Structure 1
Amino acid sequence: MIATARPIIRRFLLLLACGGTATLLLLAGLGTYAYRTAREDALEQARASAEAGRAALEQVVQIVDLQVRLLRNAFLMALAGRPDAAEPGSLGPQTDPGPTRGVTLSLPTAPHNPQARRRMAAAQALYPLQRVLREVMPELRWTYVFDAGRDFVSVYPWLDPPTILGEAEMEAAQRAFLGWWEYDVALGALPQRNPDRTGYWTPVYVDAGGAGLMVSHAVPVDADGQFQALTGADLLVSSLSDMLARRTGGGRFVVIDQKDMAVADAEGRIAGEMRAAQSLLGGPPPVPEAGWVRAGPAWMIALPVAGTPWVLVHSLDAAAVRRQALADVVPYLILAGVVLAGLGLLFFAMLQQFLRPAAGLADYAKRLADSPEPVPPPTVPAPWRPWFTRLEAAVREQRAMTLQRQLAETLKAAVVDVALDAVIIADGEGRVVAFNPGAERIFGYRSDDAIGRRIGELIVPPETRAAHESGMERFRRTRAATVLGRRLELEAMRADGSRFPVELAIHHVSVAGQDSFAAYARDLTPQQEAAREIETQQARIHQIEKLSAMGSLLAGVAHELNNPLAILVAQSTLLREKAGTPDLQRRAERIHAAAERAGRIVKSFLAMARQKPPERVPASLNEAVRAAAEMTAYGARSSGIAVTMALDPALPLAELDRDMMGQVVANLLINAQQALAEQPEPRCITVTTRSIEEDGARWVALEVADNGPGVPAAVAARIFDPYFTTKPSGAGTGIGLSICRTVVEAHGGSIALLQAAGGGACFRVRLRAIDGEAEAAPPAPPRASGLSFLLVDDEPDLAASLAEMLQGLGHDAVIAPSPGVALELAQEGDYDGVIADLRMPGLDGAALRRALVAIDPGWAARVVIMTGDTVQGPVAIARGGEAEGAVVLEKPFGPAELREAIAPIVEARRR
């Protein structure tokens, strides 16, 4: 410890030997510093006083400007509001009208055109406002309106014209009056001098009315794009001097205008006489905002007054500033002497109680740092022993903290390495210094290949690299960042050049003045694909709901058509059977054929709308084609499209659901019709069925071809995708061909787009052919007679037609006018069966059946329910839970369908 302290002791001895010189230099330095500091403080205090004076001046200026602009706005409002007729003015003596009026000065030879009279009336309408403004601020000597046409001057408060124009003859008064427009206040409003139409202040001048020195503030008044007048106010210079005297501290305060004339003086030295600012200051004024400037025996500072061309100059006596500064230096000089006197005593105390123990403490700290084993402390004075104990504890704690920090850094590195997202560390130049495995997986670079390269050329697309580099350069220059600490979604680039969306967050770290950036990137491709899938599913659900609603509407329309069609079928059947002549019979057959055709079309619609499980049976594809062609025939005819059917009569059977396959064929036909809608004639659709051998199997093939524009190659690859459509908005849903493919593939077949021979589109459907015959029609039920039926329908014509058909089959029929009457008749009479319509007011057919079954369970097999709603009808029948065994007769129907419906009743009676 002694060896360590010896160099320090020698240095302190050398310091003591040089103490005298050092002390003198210290005293000089402290004195100089204290003097300069005190002088700067004094000047700063004076500057604060000057700032307060400037603020007071600016407040007065703002009030004057506000009042002048209030006059301007009031004048414009009065001018726009069609003011009353103006009171005449003159240049001769006038009677004092009191405080409520001002004076209007006008040449007797002035033409006073209507516009000038309107301006004069608008100016005279300002007298009440001018009175209020004068009461608010008495320092305003006059407020006035100068006419742009030099026709009048309106002044408040009132003053007798001769007092300001002179009591000479009228011609001299007129020259004096016209000379007012050559004053600075009038010239400053001219458009050529004031193109921006801003407010302005005049230089100081002596008031012609004897008020002393004044300055004027005015604002041009423009209306309808033309210069109309100016509004202004005269401010007494004495009021500014009084204000400065009240609000400022020591020194001189002088306000200078744009011509270097004194506007105001806090000492009151102007005294109604215009004086140059230099005569008051004792020298030329300094440059505004240049700070304190030494000018001879004074310090000066110039502060511009906002809103005016004035400058407030504050002047301080340099000798007074010097005396104030020297007074602040004296305590420092005394203190320096005391310090110098005690330096010797302090040196000895420091040597014994501080230097040697401190050197021992430093030596002990070094040994603790170098040795991992405990080190005994040296012998030191008692006050120092706790420090050695604390040092030992601090070293132990530091070692523990270092170990923890190393462990934390190791854990952080492990977390970064196992992170699923990309973590990239770059230095201040944007060069990669760390690239975790997540970044390797996401961006496709190996860590060794990425480190050392600029992050912009690794993951930033070329079109945005310039913006990236510009942002980095701007941050290095200004430390202003727009993306740091934010989560951004943008496009990034992989090693193979592919683009993909990422969520990016960049964090800035600065250690020892060195910048680093940590970028965390997450691949958003899975999330966006999931979002698109959700949107697609929502669109699908929406389309399904629309189709469901369309199906319900279609079922309702079909139900409304079935009742009159049932009457038409029944009556045409009866008419055909009872026709007396061949001609009448042919007509009846035509009516019957048309009614049956309408019925088949309605049933096809209902089959498309009906939601039922698929029923695949051996059937001929030709039947589904004919049904679909018949259903879509009207659209083809109305569009002038010729549909050619080439159906193979020897076509093998296929196992199919007739309704679903009919929907497929109808959709292909409708698509072909829409494709031909805008094409010139001839428009042709060819429907062909045939048997083919492909892929080692026998197939039933259907081809629907048109001579339309065909399908572009870019669209053909997606034409079977769900919700993809080439039709305009509102003309298609994009699910027709997708459903067709689903239905055909569910049948074990395929659908494909081919090139038609005429250049149009051709869709081919393949279904596996099977051996066998189509389901035979059920045999005709046995004919029996003598049965009695009770008929119930809310449409009398349909009930009457049904009764005639039953009579034609050899049965008796009684028509009940309502379901309630039918229930009574069924209980009282001896009826073999009841035929009731499903939809009737009050008690419907299903409820009637349930009521009869409740009375006698034997009625369950003797009630036939008619319905034209084959979609919701079965649901309504089954709603009571007693639908088992119910016989349903679908409208429209003929004698054959009626005979089949009542066959169980006839067979039961025969047995």
Structure 2
Amino acid sequence: MHSLLRRQLLKTFGSLENVPDELKSFLSGISAAYTQFDHDRSMLERSLDLSSDELLQLNADLRAIFDVLPDLFFRLDNDGRILDCKSGAGTELFTSHRSLIGKYIQDIPVPEVGRKFGEALATVRVTKSMVSLEYSLNSDNREAYYEARILPMANTQLVTVVRDITERKNAEIALREGEARLRLIVENAFDAIVGMDASGKIIVWNPQAERTFGWTESEAIGRNFAETILQERERQKYSAQMKDFQLDGKFPILGKSVEIQALHKDGRELSVELAISPIRLNNVVFFSAFLRDISERKQLQHERELMEVQLLHSQKLEAIGNLAAGIAHEINTPAQYIGDNTRFVSETFRDLERVLESQDKLLAAANEELFAPDLVAEVLKATKAADMEFLRAEIPKAIDQALEGVERVTTIVRAMKDFSHPGTTEKVATDLNRAIQSTITVCRSEWKYVAEMDIDLEPDLPATLCLPSELNQVFLNIIVNAAHAIGEATNDGANGRGRISIQTRSEGDRNVVRISDTGAGIPEEARGRIFDPFFTTKGVGKGTGQGLAIARSVVVDKHGGTIDFETETGKGTTFVIRLPIHKVEAMPKLAADTSRGAGLPRTIRFIPSCQQRLNDARIRLRTVSDRSGNTALCHSTRSNLDDTFLQDKRRRLWRSR
């Protein structure tokens, strides 16, 4: 029986035995009800105890969350009035929580921010969904940035969470500024910067790339990198390497600077330095390419190399010139002896011929008169034995051939001296006709087997102020090239000989030299590069590619002239050289005594052809030159006087003592 029911029955009946029997069954039910009630109450109390602990723990957890979150929490009614406010431990409200209760959240910030909150609250009420907004406030001379999120609750109340995003905004600003700086660097870089995806499609194209390659950014974006700017053979090499990279991740030029030939939009070839670097972002591969146009630098390098070659060439020419001058001097002296003596023999043979003719007459008369018949018979026998008739016929021919050979040697020696000009470092007035003739003589072995030489030189061509040895080298290079071109076209003369034509003309203030050949002409693809240093159309080992580059440098840079060419495939090439004419001042009168050389012209000009006329007169010449290069003084072997032989433009010969 339940203890409470027992206590009540004892108070009422004094003893349980005094309880009437008819009540015992009823009282037993009441006892059971009390017992069940106690049990239920015990269970309820236990549940209440557990719920209270959980609520306390939940409140503690929420307090901990509020403490660690860097946010402000507002509970609002539907109009935006603040019902409650909580903040994290590190959040600065700049006022107490209690002072905010009852105020409208849209009235707390500055008007501009309040307006944003009002618009956001209206949107939440209509859409029943979360709305976020960002705003900034100035505090302690710094600008702070915030993000507010407003969420609707089921009971028409609203929850607003405000977070300080100043650090994030500053990071975003710094990122944007960094991107802007990077963009400025890319846009103002002196190198062309090109970005590509893994397939080689262009995704970045900076302004320098536009200037370097001619494609605008809108034109270049989306195009294939290799097809847009790489020269054909470079394109094939790049495409093969890109395929290898896609297969095994190996790309030989990655991280290296290499020199390649690129193409401008207009088809011009450019020399560029290329460096490609891979970029991996979220497991996606990109490429950045840096390209620098080095065409000008290459040109300067070529010019420097050409200058070095020219310097070395000049040094060699000077050494060869000194050697040639020495050899020419050594050959010239005995050649003069041989020539003089041969001419002496020729003249004395004419005298001897007259003696022999008289002797023949004497012998004929003596034979008829039978005077000293034995002696006459002996002389006739000796004459017959010596075959005097043959000797008298052949000796003049032999002498003429000897004189021709001496003249040939003299011509070669003169050409060697004229061609070499050893030690000449200053420009001198030069007869281009004579320079060309000397060059033709010097290089005769190059052309005589493959070509005929046609020479059309203007007789009164004015002098040119030049460096003779370097200009001779220009003529030599072009004539030798012409011979080689004809040799290739005629199989070194096996298919007939070609023709080299050289013409000089005075045109305005320029002397013009035209050198033509009947070779195969210059290929069209090579015409734009024939004056480039080290460019040659000849086979390996047959040319250095320096000849025409040196020719252009000498004619254009050193003499202020021009060099051009006209060519036709299968018919030949003509090089046209134009050089300034040297303006010579009038020479002073040669003698004060008008009795000597009376009537001399004020302007005089020495003609080399006079030398042969004087040689014929048995006068040995000694010539001197003035500073303008005019050769005028000649010495006579028949007296101790110096005679000057000159010829004016009307070819009148003048003499002054």
TM-score range normalised by the length of the shorter chain? 0.3 to 0.5
Structure-1-length-normalised TM-score: 0.36
Structure of higher RCO (CA pairs closer than 8 Å, 6+ residues apart): 1
> Normalized against structure 2, the TM-score is what?
0.48
